[in-house]
Amino acid sequence: MPIRLRRATLHDLPLLRGWDEDPDVVSSDPNDDWHWEEELARVSDWREPLIAEEDGRPVGFLDIIDPFAEPSRYWGEVPPGLRAIDIWIGAADDRGRGLGTEMMRQAIAKCFARADVTAIVIDPLASNVRAIRFYERLGFKPVERRRFGEDDCLVMRLERPRAASG
Ligand SMILES: CC(C)(COP(=O)(O)OP(=O)(O)OC[C@H]1O[C@@H](n2cnc3c(N)ncnc32)[C@H](O)[C@@H]1OP(=O)(O)O)[C@@H](O)C(=O)NCCC(=O)NCCS
């Protein structure tokens, strides 16, 4: 499937704001304001906001952060060497077509391409059972139930695959 991840820019503001109105996107992340204008204008070495395109058509958003370097310390006291991912497909018609799986496959490879990255963490709402199943299929394991602000989340984690021996 020709899915390409590219850097999100300020040109994507209308798209991202439009996707923010989607009921499933809202209910998966009801208490966060992404402050798109500031975030997309700011170049930082701890975040990589990405747009997924299918044959050149934007279909989803994926954000990779370094929880150790992220200034608000959303993830709390964490060691270096982690990455955290947020993802959504913008339109209901594009869900369930395998796009999210392919986006995650590419994002996971991107994270582990750096030798210092040991694991990837994810924090779906504990109530988002379909998303949890989606991450489980990708190899993420549940770690703990944790409250982030108003949100009751399930922290999930994917360890760096061990190099094949022999
Ligand atoms: C979760 C999500 C990124 C998965 O991407 P996708 O392209 O739909 O997923 P795929 O087609 O590769 O895989 C299908 C699986 O995704 C999950 N999924 C599909 N639609 C979903 C939805 N509306 N909400 C949550 N998960 C969904 C299910 O596990 C589904 O498997 P199932 O049909 O056996 O239930 C996408 O559905 C989405 O953006 N959902 C709404 C927002 C959201 O929940 N984001 C995750 C926040 S942690």
Question: What is the three-class DSSP state of 30?
Answer: coil
Q: Which amino acid type is present at position 23? A: P
Q: Which atom of ligand 1 is nearest to the CA of 125?
A: 48
- The Cα–Cα gap between 150 and 156 comes to 18
CB atoms within 10 A of CB 8: 22
- The Cα–Cα gap between 122 and 85 comes to 6
**Stated pTM of the model:** 0.95
pLDDT in tens, the chain (166 residues): 689 999 999 999 999 999 999 999 999 988 888 889 988 888 889 999 999 999 999 999 999 999 999 999 999 999 999 999 999 999 999 999 999 999 999 999 999 999 999 999 999 999 999 999 999 999 999 999 999 999 999 999 999 998 765 5
Q: How far is ligand 1, taken at its centre, from the CA of residue 104, in Å?
A: 11
Q: How far is ligand 1, taken at its centre, from the CA of residue 100, in Å?
A: 7
